[in-house]
Amino acid sequence: MKRFGIRATALTLAALVGLSPMASASVALGDELHSGTVELAPGSELIRQVFWSNSKSDLRTERYITYTPGQGVYPVVVYGDKLLSKQTLSTMAQTLEAQGHRVVGGVNGDFFDMSTGNALGVLISDGTLRTTDGAHYAVGFREDGTAFIGWPSLSVTATFSGSTMRVTDVNKTRTADDGKHEGGLYLYTEDYSTTTQHTSAGYDIILTPITGQEGDTVDVDLEVTDPDGSEADGTDGSPDEPAAADGESAADSQSLNEEEALAEGTREVSQVTGSLVLSDTLKVGGRVSCTVDQVLESSASIDIPAGKMVLTVNKQNNEWLLGMVKGLQPGDQVDIDVTSTDTRWNDAVTAIGGYYRIVTNGAVGPQTDNTANPRTAIGIKADGSVIFYAIDGHQSGYSVGATLTQVAQRLIELGCVDAVGLDGGGSTTIGATMPGNSSMEILNVPSGGSQRAVTNGIFLVSDLKPTGTLDHFYVTPYDSIVLSGAQVSLRATAMDQNGFTLSDSGSVAWSIRNGDGLVDVSGIFTAGSESGTTLVTASSGNAEGSASVTVVKTPDSISLSNESTGAPITSLALSPLQSVDLKASAVYKKIALTSQDTCYVWTADPSAGTVDENGVFTAAAQSGSGNLTVSAGGRSVTIPVTVSGHIQELDSFETDAGLSALASTATAAVNVETSSDLVRYGQRSVRVDYNASEGGTATVESNLVIPSGERYLGLWVYGDGSGNALTATVTDTSGAASDIVLTGLDFTGWKQVTAALPENAASIRSLNIIYSGGEKSIGTLYLDQFTTANEDLTDTTPPAVTVQVDGTKLTAYVSDNVDKSFAAAAIFLTRDGEPVSFNWKAESGTLTATLPADDGRLHRVTVTAVDQSGNIGRGSADILPDALTGDPDDAAIPADQGPFVDMISHWAGLYTTYLYNMGVVQGLESVAGTVFQPDKNITRGEFALMVARWMGLDLTSYSNVELPFADASSIASWALDGMKAMYAEGIIKGSLDSGTLVVRANDSISRAEAMTILGRIQNKGYVRSELTFSDAGDVASWALPYVQSLVGQGIISGYDNQLRPNDPVKRGEVAKMLYCML
């Protein structure tokens, strides 16, 4: 019983177990790494081999089909509907399959003219000459399937009107006798195209082959006349074969130059003698006698009628030849004779052109080159078997290709004594019908990324029928290269003698034929620990089949990827207890090895997390860093791991929708609080007025939903010093409820509290104030900025924001110490306080925007970012008019610009002009003109009006507001609506003077008072910097948070390390403050 399936070669085994390099090397292609063989049909095998080129430090991948004649498989040449119809190899195979043939395999064919589709060499199918050889080599197949290689050296003549003349070509592009081309007679059959494809004028003779004499012979002895009417001077003996290529040769049809793409024409002879076989189609060693139907003078292309031939000549030829053609009349006879000096071609039923002869009588040449490319070739071995060969190229990491010399050497290594090179480069394609399949599939990877439509292809086909008797098994995957310890699931398909599958094979026994490893009863193979090649065999009775598994102990490299997405992993940044399923992969000589995660040793630093044998990594419970290492066979890869917690905003209560998450009950009233002093973040907080005197508990209902996986709850509480306790009732995913203690209310003012959540926490059902038994069972709390986190983590650091402006292009970068990324909704861009559209890339934290062109005015752009904890970061840039440079403080206003005559050279000049253009300030009229008085102390009334205008408030809408201040009547009329607006908005509250509430609108306002008011008009959440000024102790407690915030934002910078909080603030200073607030 013959062995079917995989043939494990000694070369593969030697390459991996360290034997002599000579035992594992191909002189042509390099060290063999891996191979596999599959029997496709009786006498036909597919072999794939992978080599390592030491000179290229890369791979070469070859595939070839071996064919032994006489076992029910035979070769056929296929082209499209017509000779000029280009098709892919797959389409050609589908045509054969539609005709009822089983396609064993095939390769692309001859070189061709890419512009026309003309094959350069000969093509014979079904014994009929379809196109002449163009002075190129070819491979021919006889009726019994045996092959030979040579130069067809075809001669084609036409005899009529008493003369025999050379036909330049059959089914090639017609040329003129113009000194550059041969011209002469051309013959077309319906195989060529639907038309003659001519683009110039000529004479066309429509011929009808005479039938009824097929198989008869005729003896001829004809003298051939030159196209000028003289006796031809031809080569009647053995002609010289085509010369070897001079210099680098074309790798494929796409790289042919115009001269290379032009056929040289048939062999010139002076006589045609011998016995010819009559036929109604063109055959080598045969004659087709025809009757003239029509003689046409054509200006261009004409149709080729079905079943007819067209004998044609370009008008640009000598007069004698043109006269002979024009002299033909309907009914005249024309005899077309086809001969060859090599009588082997008389027996060829199939033939295809080979542009290069690369092996002759077991030696390289005569035609070779030295450039690596994809290649296709056909070689004939000394025993008569044939190799259809393809090697891919131009694909580093898979196959770099080979030179013609290397292909020739390789075919000689495989036992070939003769070989021709077919079309290569992007045309190289090889396919086969794998056992169990009904159609051919493409096996290689064409260098152009997809199959090229080519002029023809050569296939092996079988018309054998199923026998229904088990002969062998086809084991898949038939060739694997794996890492030590890897598992491969093998499948045995029952096959009959002719390559057809059987529906039932019965029981199959699995065994190791040679090598290391284990295989279980279901065909799962586990590779051993050492490098080598293992042959795994399936058998049942006398039938068997094998698969070859190449095992690699030490890979060249190991890499990691995400098991779910396939994305490569070179580092990990995870949240505490977050898990990720990793996949390890190994590469040997650029070949990806089959492996499973259990083939590797996984280790992780405890500070980073833990990892199991399947590559599931779980981050540590707390923030930290460390390494993850994966190793196999002495090779390893290590990646850094960073574990950092996250915080998610649960609710900020900045919208009415957010406030609806908390609801009043009979024991607690919930309301919005907007007083700046009672807001921790943003503009709003939640006020809870509770009464726990009855029952000992006051409750606020809640429907806050906790995101999955969160472990901690955080919130800000403004305590009332009652000593009571604040708790939360939390439900888990099963609906079970439990209480957690948030904080004791033994403090006043704002405090951030955190509490661990129960496992699988899903929602907060209620907030509870538990009466402690002290003096206060009734009180008021303020709540703000509820968050959740996956570790015990708080964040009071604002995002870092930098802004760059270059002309009209603005670029900003946002980052944060806790938040990994920001949603676009948390980012804001303003120009002079007005929103500007922008593009946001969350993954890089980059904002880009296009600003308006320079308009000669000062502008300020600001980017603001709010993190999940409510912290606000901002970055700004000043855009000076093109005529000015430097800092706005240093950019003096030209004398002929600006609304205020006293600001021309003042450091605050640009700021006051800016506020004037915004409608915030107006100035005073004087003899010299409008003045701003920048160095004058600003009054409370002036400051209130200026801030109200800066805020964009409609002052008239506040005219009915009643002021509670005892000295309200002293407020100037021009300042009254501004003061009312600031009071109504809760920004100015007045002060007590001997128990009386006053506002002192006409008094100067101190720097600390001004900073407090400015702080109140901002959202809460900006950084509060520790004050390092020498007089920081002079800042009153009521002003301290606002001063710290403005200093942290860079709005206030002080003088000579002094803040001077109690000094009056000047009008010019206020102008800069308001500008910097934007």
* CB 138, CB 353: distance < 8 Å: yes
Q: What is the spatial distance between Cα 371 and Cα 356, in angstroms, rounded to a whole number?
A: 14
- The answer to whether 392 and 374 are in contact (CB under 8 A) is yes
Q: Could you tell me the CA-to-CA distances from 1020 to 169, 456, 969, 1015, 1061 in Å, in that order?
A: 92, 78, 33, 8, 21
CATH architecture of 800-883: Sandwich (2.60)
Q: Is the peptide bond before 852 cis (omega within 30 degrees of 0)?
A: no
**How does DSSP assign 871-930, residue by residue?**
-EEEEEEEE--TT--S-TTT-PPPTT-SS-GGGTT-TTHHHHHHHHHHTS---EEETTEE
> What token pair was written down for 15?
């390459």
User: What 3-state DSSP class applies to 1007?
Assistant: helix
Tokens 């050379």 correspond to 166
Partners of residue 636 on adjacent β-strands: 631
**Cα Rg for the chain, rounded, in angstroms?**
46
Report how far residue 784's alpha carbon sits from residue 11's, in angstroms, rounded to the nearest whole number. Answer: 75
Burial class (CB in 10 A: 0-12, 13-18, 19+), 404: buried
Q: What is the pLDDT of residue 24?
A: 57
Specify the residue for token string 């060969």.
389
Fold classification of 647-789 is Jelly Rolls (2.60.120)
**Which residues of the chain are modeled with pLDDT < 70?**
1-24, 229-248, 263, 505, 885-886, 889-897
Q: Is residue 997 within a helix (H) or strand (E), and if so which, with residue range?
A: strand 996-998
Domain 472-552 has CATH 3.20.20.10: no
Backbone torsions φ then ψ of 248, nearest 5 degrees = -70, 140
**Cβ pair 599, 483 in contact under 8 A:** yes
543-552 and 609-611 as β-strands: parallel, antiparallel, unpaired? unpaired
372 burial (CB, 10 Å; 0-12 / 13-18 / 19+) is: buried
| Residue 572 tokens, joined | 């990990």
Of 255, 232, 145, 221, nearest to 185 by C-alpha is 232
DSSP bridge pairs for 637: 630
Q: How many CA atoms lie within 13 A of 455 on its CB side?
A: 31
b/e code 252-268 from CB counts within 10 Å (16+ = b):
bbebbeeeebbbbbbbb
**pLDDT at site 178:** 86
Note whether 40 and 435 are within 8 A (CB). Answer: yes
Nearest to 821 by CA among 871, 867, 788: 867
pLDDT for the residue 240: 58
Domains 472-552 and 647-789 fall in the same CATH topology: no
Q: What tokens does 187 get?
A: 């013959």
Lookup: tokens for 537: 């065999």
Cross-strand bridge partners of residue 618: 579, 610
- Between CA 239 and CA 244, with CA 242 as vertex, the angle to 5 degrees is 140
Q: Do the Cβ atoms of 69 and 43 come closer than 8 Å?
A: yes
Please tell me the total number of residues recorded for the chain in this structure.
Answer: 1078
Query: 326 phi and psi, to 5 degrees?
Result: -65, -25
Q: Which residues pair with 729 in a beta bridge?
A: 739, 766
**pLDDT at residue number 892:** 61
Q: How far apart are the first and last CA of the chain?
A: 91
pLDDT of residue 134: 86
Pick from 600, 596, 564, 590: which is nearest to 579 by CA? 564
Q: Could you give the angle at the alpha carbon of 442 between the alpha carbons of 437 and 446, nearest 5°?
A: 170
Q: In which element (H, E) is residue 942 found?
A: helix 940-950
SS3 label, residue 377:
strand
Residues near 1069 by Cβ (< 8 Å), separated by ≥ 6?
908, 1007
The structure tokens listed for 805 are 């402006």
Distances (CA, A) of 130 to 137, 314, 440, 630: 16, 21, 25, 62
pLDDT score at 745: 97
Q: What is the 3-state secondary structure (H, E, C) of 124-169?
A: EECCEEEECCCCCEEEEECCCCCEEEECCCEEEEEEECCEEEEEEE
Helix (H, G, I), strand (E, B) or coil at 430: strand
Position 16 scores a pLDDT of 35
Would you list the domain boundaries of the chain? 55-152+342-463, 153-233+268-341, 472-552, 557-643, 647-789, 800-883, 913-1077
Question: Would you say 321 and 215 are in contact if contact means Cβ atoms under 8 Å apart?
Answer: no
CATH class of 557-643: mainly beta
Residues 6+ apart with CB under 8 A from 637: 557, 558, 559, 560, 629, 630, 631
- Angle at which helix 1067-1077 crosses helix 1007-1016, to 10 degrees, equals 20
Predicted local distance difference test score (pLDDT) of residue 893: 62
pLDDT per position as a tens digit, 467-492: 999 999 999 999 999 999 999 999 99
The span from the CA of 673 to the CA of 686, in Å, is: 6
What is the distance between the alpha carbons of residues 169 and 167, in angstroms, rounded to a whole number?
6
